[in-house]
Structure 1
Amino acid sequence: MNLVQRVQDILLRPKATWPQIEREPASVGSLYTEYLVVLAAISSICSFIGLSIVGVGMMGVQIRMPFVSGLVNMVVGFVLTLGAVYVLALIADALAPSFQGRRDPLAALKLVAYASTAGLLGGVFGILPALAPLGLLAALYSAYLLYLGLPVMMKCPPEKSLAYTAVLIVCGIVLGVVVGTVASLLMPGPRMGIAGAPAPGGNVTLNLPGGEVKIDTAKLEEAARRMEEAGRRAQQAQAAASDPAAAASAAGQAMGDVLAALGGGAAGSAIAPATLKGLLPATLGGLPQVSVETQGGQVAGFAGSAARARYEQGEQRIELSITDLGGVAGIAAAAFAAATVERETADRVERSYRQGARGIKEEAAKDGSHAEMTVLLANGVAVEARGERTDLAGLKRALEGLGLDRIEALKRPEKS
């Protein structure tokens, strides 16, 4: 399949393209590796560049998401978006009889995958946050693609397609909330709640025309683990290919292969938070450690971990974080490659560049009052330092003393 041609066809000639999609052979793995992964990666990388490189201008001040937080947000969003496509396909398949359609798990996945094209490509507007609202128009076009594809792929009567589409859109909104909430659970640093909902750890409530939908975020990780276990059991039992459980297992396996290929590591594994904590020195740049914390978790096959410490004496302060992005360093490295920056103003300098296998970002005030430095190591571990009353040269010396080669040599545990 020619990806560029397929994108053009589904966007410009959807009525003629859906019957072609319905006839052509496909598998869960091919739909992900040849199509969805590429589009989701483009969207995620553009969002990262917009939030962490370009920034959002507010009252003459450019606000950016911290670099490591942006990387983690990008990778987690990428993984969860791919998972959400599969979940929405399961829902579309389960609902088919309710709208006089025919159940077909693979057809449902093809439907959702190709209907998502406009929405995923709309993510390119995220490269300039001011244009991000245009992504909503792209999402609306995806809803139209879904409407056109339902009678072809799920064999529902055309008169039922509008109601079918409306239900799936509501389900997609709920999934979007779930993706945002789970992503925030794995974000390093202070946790932020999603707009219009409480912070993760409580219930998220959506007021929809049909009533309220509540999501218990505390149970999301447990639900993900159970889904993974069910998929493994189905695979071990060699269930029939038409069995939804076997299809779920195949999707999980394909996702694992994709993540491993992107990052060169084992999907579903991360360096233990305690190991990362042990890398935090008692003093850094001559400053004593005053606080330390760790974080780790796994959702939808993506595992991550982090350790953070603060070093302080008088007005001088350095905040250091070591974050393992799991087995998906490839997409983070691609973001660095796409986001090379050289920027200088009267009072600040900023650089983002590659140094061998490492990605490096530096930002500093020329008066030495503030400096930030992030190093993405070849093994997918990101080291970030932010200093107050510290210049960039001092921050570099502090990171050199940390032993980056030793951190880069760390291996993740093998996935059981």
Structure 2
Amino acid sequence: MTKPETEWNLIREKPPGILQLYLGQIIWLAAIPALGTYYGTTQVGWSLPGSSEIVKLTPESAAWMAGLAWLAMLAGVGVMGWAVQWMSQTFGTKPNLTQSTAFSCYTAFPLFLAGICGLYPSLWLALIAGTLAASASAWLLYTGLPTFMNIPKEQGFIYASSILCIGLVVLVALMITTVIFWGMGIGPEYISVIK
């Protein structure tokens, strides 16, 4: 985050192995929002405006949702790594899947870190943290891709925009999958507690 130019070159030249990347970093980074949200929704809860009730999730329901969210984040990093590698052919670069997955992981780091805000479920906190994290990830993507792929900044802008669009498609696909599961009856179970 503080010296992206140096780090992108280092990651391109000496990326960790794909297994090392997943076992050493991605599974732990993806656990931050999953565990934070599990704790926040089962122990802290949230209240609706004008209500004296605190709403929480049952521990079993929250565990299922946190586990599925964790798996979705692991898959999302892999899909985005594949997309970075796939799109690279268009721009005349040839990173391997490990390099592309590493780039995807490090670009998403602010989003993973924002998951700490799940400890305290609040709409405004989620909106502020999500906006800041998405902005930081977009900044890393747009500034880092030309350096990482060793291409001109003009091509990097088009490449980064394409990757951002693919990321939005992945996000919408996850949302649709969630709606389908909830429609099948696999959704959260709520507990209401009077303050």
TM-score, length-scaled by structure 2: 0.84
Give the equivalent residue in structure 1 for 2:41: 51
Tell me if structure 2 keeps the 8 A contact 1:50–1:129: yes
Counterpart residue number, 2:7: 17
Q: Quick one: which amino acid aligns to residue 93 of structure 2?
A: G
The answer as to whether partners of 2:56 and 2:192 remain within 8 angstroms in 1 is: no
> Which residue among 19, 22, 25 is the counterpart of 1:29?
19
CA distance, structure 2, for counterparts of residue 34 and residue 180 of structure 1 = 28
Partner of 1:293: none
Per the TM alignment, residue 179 of structure 1 is displaced from its structure 2 partner at its CA by 2.3
Question: 2: CA distance between counterparts of 1:183 and 1:31?
Answer: 27
Quick one: distance in 2 between partners of 1:189 and 1:124? 30
Structure 1 residues 47-99: Cα deviation after superposition (integer angstroms, max 9, x where no partner):
11222321121123211233222110100000111011111111111111323
1:110 is aligned to 102
Which of the residues 28, 43, 55 maps onto 1:63?
55
1:77 has 2:45 as partner:
no
1:190, distance to aligned residue in structure 2 (A):
3.0
User: Which structure 1 residue ranges, 5 or more long, are not aligned?
Assistant: 1-10, 193-320, 322-361, 366-416
Instruction: Give the conservation status (yes or no) of the 8 Å contact 2:46–2:54.
Output: yes
Partner of 1:239: none
Q: Is the 8 A contact 2:15 2:98 kept in 1?
A: no
Aligned-pair distance for 1:18? 1.2
Q: 1:184 Cα deviation (Å)?
A: 5.2
- Name the structure 1 match of 2:131: 136
Structure of greater Rg: 1
Equivalent in the alignment of 2:113: 121
**Matching residue of 2:158:** 163
The whole-number CA distance in structure 2 between the counterparts of 1:152 and 1:104 is: 16
In structure 2, the residue matched to 1:414 is none
Instruction: Mark the CA change 1:363 to 1:159 in structure 2 (over 3 Å): closer, same or farther.
Output: closer
CA contact 1:150–1:161 (8 Å) conserved in 2: yes
Structure 1 pair 190–149 and aligned structure 2 pair: CA distance change class (3 A): same
Greater per-residue helix proportion: 2
Q: Secondary structure at the match of 1:62?
A: strand
Structure ranking higher on relative contact order (CA contacts 8 Å, 6+ apart): 2
**What is the one-letter code of the residue matched to 1:18?**
W
Equivalent-residue separation in structure 2 for 1:188 and 1:153 (angstroms): 42
* 8 A contact 2:85–2:95 mirrored in 1: yes
Matched-pair contact (CA < 8 Å) for 1:122–1:139:
no
Give the match for residue 307 of structure 1. Answer: none
Cα distance, 1:101 vs structure 2: 3.2
Q: Pick from 165, 185, 192 the counterpart of residue 190 of structure 1.
A: 185
Whole-angstrom distance in 1 between the partners of 2:80 and 2:193: 44
Identity among equivalent pairs (%): 24
Contact 1:97–1:103 at 8 Å: present in 2 too?
no
Matched length: 187
Mapped to 2, the partners of 1:111 and 1:186 lie a distance apart of 31
Q: SS of the counterpart of 1:63?
A: strand
CA distance in 2, matches of 1:146, 1:187: 33
- 1:163-182 aligned at under 5 Å gives the runs 163-182=158-177
1:92–1:168 CA contact under 8 A, matched in 2: yes
Secondary structure of 1:64's aligned partner: strand
Name 2:146's counterpart in structure 1: 151
Task: Provide the secondary structure at the position in 2 that maps to 1:132.
Answer: helix
How do 1:16-415 residues align onto structure 2 when only pairs under 5 Å count? 16-58=6-48, 59=50, 60-130=52-122, 131-133=125-127, 134-183=129-178, 185=180, 190-191=185-186
Q: CA RMSD in A?
A: 2.6
SS in 2 for 1:56: coil
| Structure 2 alignment gaps of length 5 or more | none
